[in-house]
Amino acid sequence: MARVNTSAERNSTQPRPGIEYILPLRWKTDDELADLTAYLTALREWADITIIDGSDPDRFAAHAATWSGLARHIPVDGRAGMNGKVRGVLTGLAVARHEHLVIADDDVRYDRDTLTAVVSDLAIASLVKPQNHFAPLPWHARWDTARTLLNRAVASDYPGTYAVRRSTLRLAGGYSPNVLFENLEMERTIRAVGGVISDRPDIYVKRRPPTAQHFISQRSRQAYDSFAQPRRLLTEAAILPLLITVRRCPAAIALLTLSAVALAERGRRRAGGQNVFAPTSALWAPLWLCERAVTSWVAIGARLRGGVPYNGQRMRVAAHPPTQISRRLAAAGITIPATSASDASNSRHAYRTARQESVGERDGPDKSSNDQRRQVSGPGAELPAQTHPRSMLR
């Protein structure tokens, strides 16, 4: 039986008591052990930490010794499921001590301000999604940043960390561990039980870049995620035929290139992003689109063969459609709270009151307010625009 470490005594003057930081990991090497340990040393002053470790027994024992006194360190429980990260999150959910959970990959690096910001939003939301950005920026992190900027330009990005209410996720019975795109699965599950999702593209949380080898290995797997969003998949799959069609027309190629850069630059400037993302970030967008033009078809080929390779198996489902999730909940006898226009109005009023108390009313209209709008979906609908404190743009 694996040993469980209890969290150490912490400074009694922590800024946000009652935060549970859930960190699922499964390491094959300990190359990042020193960096993560230094991060946990700072983090323990702000939150109770639970690490769910799916590493091999020898590595698990070494981690337990290293993180003793920093975090509660437990193994993944015996639940079934193909996605090891989701199994780790669900294990953490089952033993969580607090209502406010912050779920984060092992490469995410909060500071005190950003952690406080995402948890504060749980006062009026069930799930809060901040914005990740890479630090440092090797070439492959710049390449992948282009994907982030394009996502920000047309909708929202999917970070490696969420803040979520324990009660909402437990009400849903967790979320499926048999999907590839686990973040989207969690969002759709939260919505299905009537939860409010707060999209915060103005809260910037650092993330360590992967190795170049890992980055390359993930290209077709990331493209496979688009099977959960059919219209996006069709758009991405159409890029390659379009490029083949215009390959002999330099003017058309130039127009497509400039359009891609302009769209990415729009995402870079959204919600104060120009203060975080490098000025040259948008220039990588054409390269990323060329990558996705090819990997989309690789992903389609994988689908025809039964799914994308994943831990020695083939994962067929990227994420379940919302209707299928709703049917699962109904079959499990989970009651979905009814919502109304009055509920939405009350949620908007609660948000306005909370923001006025924390940062005060803006002095007047801001020309960039549309880019800085705080998107909230669910019973609370879209809430009014507010600007977050600059201290949270670190």
Q: What pLDDT is recorded for position 342? A: 47
Residues with Cβ within 8 Å of 176's Cβ and at least 6 positions away in sequence, in order, are 81, 86, 185, 189, 317, 320, 325
Contact of 79 with 91, CB cutoff 8 Å? yes
Contact of 278 with 137, CB cutoff 8 Å? yes
Task: Please name the residue that has the structure tokens 């000025």.
Answer: 279
Q: Which helix (H) or strand (E) holds 167?
A: helix 166-171
Q: What pLDDT is recorded for position 378? A: 55
What is the tens place of the pLDDT at every residue in 295-314?
A: 999 999 999 999 999 989 99
**Strands of the chain, DSSP E:** 19-25, 48-53, 72-75, 100-104, 108-109, 127-134, 161-165, 197-207, 308-310, 313-315, 375-377
pTM, full prediction: 0.85
**337: preceding bond cis by omega (within 30 degrees):** no
Ranges of residues in the chain with a pLDDT under 50 are: 1-16, 340-342, 344-345, 348, 352, 360-373, 379-394
Q: Which domains, and CATH codes, for the chain?
A: 19-214+321-392 (3.90.550.10), 216-311 (no CATH)
- By DSSP bridging, strand 100-104 and strand 72-75 are unpaired
Q: What pLDDT is recorded for position 343? A: 53
User: How many other CB atoms sit within 10 Å of the CB of residue 98?
Assistant: 16
Contact of 192 with 121, CB cutoff 8 Å? no
Contact of 133 with 145, CB cutoff 8 Å? yes
Contact of 387 with 366, CB cutoff 8 Å? yes
Q: What pLDDT is recorded for position 258? A: 98
Q: What pLDDT is recorded for position 10? A: 38
Q: What pLDDT is recorded for position 335? A: 73
